[in-house]
Amino acid sequence: MKTKDVALVLSSGGPRGWAYIGAIEELESRGYNITSIAGTSIGSLIGGIYAAGKLSEVKEWLFSLDAWKVFSLMDLSISKNHLVKGDKVIGAIKEIVPEIDIEDLMIPYRAVAADLYTGEEVVFDRGPLFEAVRASISIPSLFRPVKYGFRTLVDGGIVNTMPIDKVPRSGNDIVVAFDVNDVDVESIRQTVINEARQEEDRLRAERELDAETRIVLNSVRHNSTLTLKDKFMLAKAQGEKILLHKLNDEEPEPELLFEDSYYSILSRTFSLMNHVIARTAAERYRPEVLVKMPFDAYGEIGDYARAREISEAGRELMKAALDEYETTTKL
Catalytic residue list: 41, 155
| Cα dist from 267 to 17, 84, 134, 296, 316, whole Å | 13, 15, 18, 9, 24
Distance CA 249, CA 203 (A): 12
- 242: helix, strand or coil: helix
Q: Are strands 5-10 and 174-182 parallel, antiparallel or unpaired?
A: parallel
The set of residues, in sequence order, having a beta carbon less than 8 Å from that of 192 and lying 6+ positions away, is: 257
Closest CA to 174 of 44, 61, 262, 289: 289
Distance CA 165, CA 140 (A): 24
Distance CA 60, CA 76 (A): 25
Question: What are φ and ψ of residue 289, in 5° steps?
Answer: -130, 125
- 37: helix, strand or coil: strand
Amino acid identity at 238: Q
What angle separates helix 55-63 from helix 307-329, to the nearest 10 degrees? 130
